[in-house]
């Protein structure tokens, strides 16, 4: 490579970084995209995150022919084909832009303006006017004796590519990742046990929502152990033995594999951020301001590595903020983000936006809550048509202004419904307006007509 100075250098092929690289490249800017592994072209989402996990969700919900092991194996093979195709398309998206070069290797800062890229014996030193760090996050393996060295330890990365179906799967952690995999593998036919240190799963959710989700998962065969503090993990001739304390007693659990689902941390180790003068937070994330600038004004951080919400769509919005800083008016920032929704892809999916009931009450707001079990919503025939009547819909409303404060939708199609609610909240649409809107039939959205017309179940 003759000219090693670029207008933009992006470290990490994630959603925000690749979108920014493509945008600037199409404008004729010289762009370098550095990714340490060709297996990660396109980033976490398409390779080891959203796309493969949700593909497994789909296969679990729509089982084909054959034994559980055969169905699981086919699902994994189909998922591999999907991610391979997406990876190729993502590489081509940048490789076909004349002013963009994709470099495979490990990057580290030498100084605020210079990055060294190493691939085997090959070393490049690159300079850039603007540098964007987009290295994402990685699973945390807790420091439990014997866990890290276990031959049966899995993170989400390994589990989605596992050739065999575990007959007995232990999951450490009852957060969103643990819940999704518990739902998927129970449907595939595994005996799933979730060990969680907290009093219940999904601690960010209201008690009634978490209880409803727990009931659905238990009916699917998932066992939960709350207040479980794992003290030891040991491999045996038949799998792994997990020792934990719960209820003042010591227990053991035998499993074929154990999934560590106890959170993710930003990937910053080995980047040489200290040499670049880039500060990090106590959690290891790169410290950024509302414009996503680091302590060096020409260096930005996007996506999971900056410590914000770990969602692909947040990384995409990060790219919009930086694009506006580089070639726009420079006014867009993270302060513009209002009401960011999320979905937990259990079956049926749980989607939420805004305040929980608990949060609204704690803030002293005048609250009323309307909710209805999906099975009781007469005006939602789609649920009965597709045979998925589990769950409930819940709205938290300001009883004085009729403002939508939040919603939790545990139902068929909730991953789509929540986007309509979010858009309504962003634009000040009241609960009554959402209630009285005209929706297609039969659809899941028309449930809003009935649920929002229901009498309050609670007021505060």
The residue ranges of every structural domain in the chain are: 5-138+265-336, 153-262, 342-459
DSSP 85-145: HHHHHHHHHHHTSTTEEEEESEEEEEETTEEEEEETTEEEEEEEEEEEE---EEE-----T
Task: Give Cα separations from 26 to 93, 104, 158, 226, 320 (angstroms).
Answer: 11, 21, 36, 52, 15
- For residue 3, pLDDT over 70 is answered with no
pLDDT tens, position by position, 122-174: 999 999 999 999 999 999 999 999 999 999 999 999 999 999 999 999 999 99
End-to-end CA distance of the chain: 66
- What's the pLDDT band for 64 if we cut at 50, 70, 90? confident
| Strand blocks (E) in 247-359 | 249-255, 257-260, 264-266, 299-301, 342-344, 350-354
Q: Tell me which residues are annotated as active site.
A: 441
pLDDT of residue 379: 95
- Contacts of range 431-435, beta carbons closer than 8 Å, 24 or more positions apart: 431/395, 431/397, 431/402, 431/403, 431/404, 432/402, 434/404
Same fold, 5-138+265-336 and 153-262: yes
- Angle in degrees, CA 280, 285, 289, rounded to 5: 70
pLDDT of residue 449: 98
Question: What average pLDDT does this structure show over 348-376?
Answer: 98
- For residue 1, pLDDT over 70 is answered with no
- What's the pLDDT band for 202 if we cut at 50, 70, 90? very high
Which residue reads 């805004």 in tokens? 354
Output phi, psi for 309, to 5 deg. -55, 135
Which residue reads 């340490």 in tokens? 36
Mean pLDDT of the chain: 96
pLDDT of residue 2: 59
- For residue 53, pLDDT over 90 is answered with yes
pLDDT of residue 65: 84
- For residue 293, pLDDT over 90 is answered with yes
CATH code given to domain 342-459: 3.30.390.30
Residue 5 Ramachandran class (φ > 0 left, ψ -120 to 50 alpha, else beta):
beta
Task: Give Cα separations from 331 to 27, 93, 339, 355, 408 (angstroms).
Answer: 20, 28, 19, 27, 32
Question: What average pLDDT does this structure show over 225-235?
Answer: 97
**In what order do the strands lie in the sheet containing 257-260?**
153-154, 257-260, 168-172, 191-195, 223-225
CATH code given to domain 153-262: 3.50.50.60
Q: What percent of the chain has pLDDT over 90?
A: 97
The model's pTM is 0.94
Two structure tokens written together for 230: 């794992």
In CATH, the architecture of 5-138+265-336 is 3-Layer(bba) Sandwich (3.50)
pLDDT tens, position by position, 295-354: 999 999 999 999 999 999 999 999 999 999 999 999 999 999 999 999 999 999 999 999
């Amino acid at each position: 490579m003759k000219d090693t100075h670029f207008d933009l250098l992006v470290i990490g092929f994630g959603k925000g970084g690749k979108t920014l690289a493509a945008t600037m490249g199409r404008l004729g800017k010289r762009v370098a995209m550095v990714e340490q592994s060709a297996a990660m072209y396109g980033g976490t989402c398409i390779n080891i995150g959203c796309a493969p996990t949700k593909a497994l969700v789909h296969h679990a919900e729509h089982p084909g022919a054959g034994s559980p092991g055969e169905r699981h194996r086919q699902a994994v093979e189909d998922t591999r084909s999907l991610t391979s195709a997406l990876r190729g398309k993502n590489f081509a998206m940048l490789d076909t832009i004349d002013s963009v070069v994709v470099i495979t290797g490990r990057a580290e800062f030498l100084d605020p303006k210079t990055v060294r890229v190493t691939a085997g014996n090959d070393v490049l030193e690159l300079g850039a006017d603007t540098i964007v760090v987009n290295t994402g996050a990685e699973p945390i393996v807790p420091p439990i004796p014997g866990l890290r060295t276990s031959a049966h330890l899995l993170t989400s990365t390994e589990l989605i590519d596992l050739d065999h179906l575990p007959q007995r799967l232990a999951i450490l952690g009852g957060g969103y990742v643990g819940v999704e995999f518990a739902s998927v593998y129970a449907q595939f036919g595994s005996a799933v046990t979730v060990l969680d240190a907290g009093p219940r799963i999904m601690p960010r959710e209201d008690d009634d929502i978490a209880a409803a989700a727990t009931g659905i998962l238990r009916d699917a065969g998932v066992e939960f152990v709350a207040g479980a503090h794992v003290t030891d993990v040991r491999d045996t001739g038949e799998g792994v033995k997990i020792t934990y304390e719960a209820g003042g007693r010591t227990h053991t659990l035998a499993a074929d594999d154990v999934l560590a689902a106890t959170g993710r941390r930003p990937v910053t180790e080995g980047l040489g951020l200290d040499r670049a003068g880039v500060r990090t937070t106590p959690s290891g994330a790169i410290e950024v301001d509302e414009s996503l600038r680091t302590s060096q004004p020409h260096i930005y951080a996007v996506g999971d590595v900056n410590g914000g919400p770990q969602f692909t769509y947040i990384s995409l919005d990060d790219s919009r903020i930086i694009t506006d800083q580089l070639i726009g008016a420079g006014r867009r920032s993270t302060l513009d983000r209002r009401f960011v929704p999320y979905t937990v892809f259990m079956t049926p999916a749980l989607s939420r936006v805004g305040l929980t009931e608990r949060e609204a009450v704690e803030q002293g707001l005048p609250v009323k809550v309307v909710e209805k079990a999906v099975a009781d919503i007469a005006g939602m025939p789609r649920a009965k048509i597709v045979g998925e009547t589990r769950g409930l819909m819940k709205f938290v409303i300001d009883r004085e202004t009729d403002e939508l404060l939040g919603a939790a939708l545990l139902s068929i199609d909730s991953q789509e419904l929540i986007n309509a609610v979010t858009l309504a909240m962003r634009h000040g649409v009241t609960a009554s307006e959402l209630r009285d809107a005209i929706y297609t039939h039969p659809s899941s959205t028309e449930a809003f007509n009935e649920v929002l017309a229901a009498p309050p179940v609670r007021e505060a």
